[in-house]
Amino acid sequence: MRITGIRVAAIVLQLSFASAQGTMDARAPLGVGAEAELTMIRTIDDFARKYEQAGNKMAKGMVRHDRSNALCRFGKSPLAQYRGVVSDRIGTISEMDAVSDGRGILAVRLSPRLSVATTNNDLSEMLGPPTLVPVVSAVHRVALALAVGQAVRFSGTLFPYPVDCARETSLTVDGGMEDPSFLFRFTELHAIE
């Protein structure tokens, strides 16, 4: 069960970012997003290793704190400029399900330790920003023909939060440090053949 918890700055995970108005920033060099994504993945991996090697819970807490600072410093400019809107990202579907009324639960893995996902239950949907995939949406129609393990290209929105600069949904600190999943509202989804 994923509910609002520890947060991580996933804005910088994207190959390219959409501006706050939803258009691509023509001034950004083509490779900037890919470089930012690699830096973010490396940061998460480095701090996950430090967290796993920490000798006690207080030491783990310090590693958690340091990662938050590192991600916020790294993500401040994209977060301010793009307000959480990301586009044209590539990943692999890691979870597909539905709640009782048919709205979709969707998670996409970006790296072995990093994913973006909707909430996965009605309660979380009521308490936080709505992210479940609406039944009548284009994203839902595309998802109906996909499967776990399918490569996809997607766009959507992440949600700012003071800790790590974006909302992370793991129930435990361990989960948030070792395999973070960022709350995400999908606005586009396309299969990659």
Whole-number Cα distances in Å, 168 to 19, 31, 100, 116, 118 = 22, 26, 24, 9, 11
pLDDT at position 34 = 59
Return contacts of 30-36, CB within 8 angstroms, 24+ apart: 36/12, 36/78
6 within domain boundaries: no
94 within domain boundaries: yes
Band (pLDDT 50/70/90 cuts) for residue 74 is low
155 within domain boundaries: yes
4 within domain boundaries: no
| Separation of alpha carbons 175 and 161, rounded Å | 18
Domain count, the chain: 1
78 within domain boundaries: yes
Mean pLDDT for the stretch of residues 164-189: 92
**R_g of the chain computed on alpha carbons:** 16
Structure tokens at 178: 């070792």
pLDDT at position 130 = 95
pLDDT at position 75 = 58
pLDDT at position 9 = 29
Of 171 and 86, more confident? 171
5 within domain boundaries: no
160 within domain boundaries: yes
- Do 89 and 114 form a contact (C-beta atoms < 8 A)? no
Band (pLDDT 50/70/90 cuts) for residue 97 is very high
State the residue range of the domain holding 154.
11-191
Q: Which of 95, 102, 156 has the alpha carbon at shortest distance from 134?
A: 102
Structure confidence by residue, pLDDT tens digits, 44-73:
999 999 999 999 999 999 999 999 988 887
Share of the chain above pLDDT 70, in %: 75
Residues 6 or more apart whose Cβ sits within 8 Å of residue 98: 104, 105
21 within domain boundaries: yes
pLDDT at position 73 = 77
Helices then strands, each counted (H, E), the chain: 5, 6
| Separation of alpha carbons 158 and 29, rounded Å | 22
